[in-house]
Chain A
Amino acid sequence: MKYGYILRRIGILIATLYTVITITFILIRLSPYNPYAYFLSQEQSMGIASPTELAAMAEYYYNLIPNQPIYVQYFEYLWAIMRGNFGHSLIYPQMTVANIIATRLPWTLYIVITSTVISFLIGTYAGQRLGYMKGGKVDGGVVTFFTVLHSIPIYGVGLILLYFVALKAGLLPSAGAYSASVTPGPNLPFIASVIDHSILPISTFILGSVGGWTLGMRANTVSVLGEDYVNAAELRGIPRSRIASRYVGRNAILPQFTSLVISIGFSFGGSVFVEQIFTYPGVGQMLVSSVGDGDYPVIMGITIIIIAAVLVSVLVADLTYQLLDPRVRR
């Protein structure tokens, strides 16, 4: 039963990835907007390349050979991507898309994972404390505060931090992943510079998501506190701290893990804004600048990789949840 579930999840992952790759093919090649045909007609009108050179260029950039039947192009495209070949950038022709992604993905993973973990921990802790205070004066005010915080879009949070903390007050760097004066490598100045540069992007993510975690955990705690087994435990004279950790905490935190699965996708989506605002050299920023440049091979490659990263993290989170909750462990 358990293996069946894992297999089913992996099946969905592969089907989703396949769907996404197909969508990128449709967007490039079959949609009425057809960037690929636009590229070909542009190159043709310049008249520099011979038809064979043109075909070689099209394959170099897009993995699509012109004048082939559409289904052949589709399978060539699929096959190229399965071998890790996402074509080449139109703007930097000497760079493979896979190369561009490989240099940028670690930065995105670093800020997304760090901020998700910190935000989850803070929100879960604060939410549980708030759950115990339900109905009090503090509770109402704090709930309103977190509702408002939750209502600021992530780019709003980022722009406010960028403007006031980095530019006005000059407390933290406003752009880049590390300063030009340090040499990348396992040395202390580099690590310090990396942390320094990531504080604002990570804080943006945290401020943008901690309200949701807190309100979610508060609601879970309130509903668990109303359960009979909690009252029964109190009547049995079990110490309050033990009830809080073993009875309430354990049960209230489970739905949080389900939300974690959903939030991973949101975080990667948010990285597009955060990296753009802080000129952080991750895949999100590259995606936005490629959209600006019309660099479609890079756009599609990054899309496929980001979605693959999200799908794998979701799968890991989901399987972890299965291990944590004995009720789903069948």
Chain B
Amino acid sequence: MTLIAEYGTILLVLACLFGFFMAWGVGANDVANAMGTSVGSRALTIKQAILIAMVFEFLGAYLAGGSVTQTIRSGIVDPSMISPEQMIFGMLASLLAAGTWLLLASIRGWPVSTTHTIIGAVIGFAAVGVSVDSVKWLGVVPIVSSWVISPFLAGSIAFMIFLSVHKLILDTDDPFANAKRYIPMYMFAVGFIIALMTLTKGLKHVGLHFTDLQSFGLSVLSGLLVTVLGVLLMSRIKDEPSGKSHLHGVERVFAILMIFTACAMAFAHGSNDVANAVGPLAAIVGVLQSGTIHAQSTVPGWVLLVGAVGIVVGLATYGYRVIATIGRHITELTPSRGFAAELAAASTVVAASGIGLPVSTTHTLVGAILGVGMARGIAALNLKVIGTIFTSWVVTLPAGAILSIIYFFIFQGIFG
């Protein structure tokens, strides 16, 4: 307890700084993966993508990031088995470990996933630094399985969405007319699904409580809102008479739809990845405030705010460049494909955020794109990327753990 009394403020400031820096990293590097498909398919300009990302990453992180943050804070390790000092050291170590690994991997060009690093780091310091029993292994199992399930789930959903697009719109006698007829349905789906996932599970941390019926009603409302807005934007697109441009007219209608799925992607990404930065911070705050962590206590709103702001700053200072780079490389996606992949990925990630499962947005989106590819939607896909995903699981987890353990013992040595 003396440690907290003596160094409490410094530790809090340190934790906030590290957390902010981690959030900055997420905004600088990770958001590009979520927004890259929208820019690459020319549905959004880079400026539009950044604007949407800033607004919706913030909203996603602040409104819906609480569950996943809670998981990282107290869902992986058992607070009752760890002393307050150890918790503080461990969480600081985790943050540092993740930051170090991100830096190292970025320089060396290795695959990097913030989610996997943080989880590995937290498990690492708890299992080795404290005791193997301090880890809620039963809680870890669903998290790890979600890493495998989310790409598959997103892939299957994307497959089905694209198949429906092909049947209802692309493979018909008048694609343009059918596009104008059916795309409003998809617009409704975007608004409805994202709202439903968020409202039924995620908004407790902002102090909003809805009954299931209210959530359903509000979701329908947001679906309708999106549809009305979308139809308004769609009405400005005229069909071109010549045969070849007929398709491009269809794709331009899909591009409108992609505006909404881009918002959904940004929201989903923010809701899931903010926890990578501020989950440990939330744990430290909890310990400093009460001397221990009560698993039931909700994540303080300002912690999520730190994360949300950090992401936006990261986006504004560096992320826009990365989005531009990735957008330049992704040229094979047309809006009809991009939309299917984004809607599938966003739904999966938002659902995971609602349940409190930290997943890798990047892997989920890759899974979704592969799903579209399976439906013959994309000319050529490099399957070696699947190997990269496996490598991330196998290498990043231990890397995060090892680094975290090292930092943990360093902290213990200095302050303990």
Q: Do A and B come from one complex?
A: no
Q: Which residues in B have some Cβ–Cβ distance to A below 8 Å?
A: none
Q: Which residues in A have some Cβ–Cβ distance to B below 8 Å?
A: none
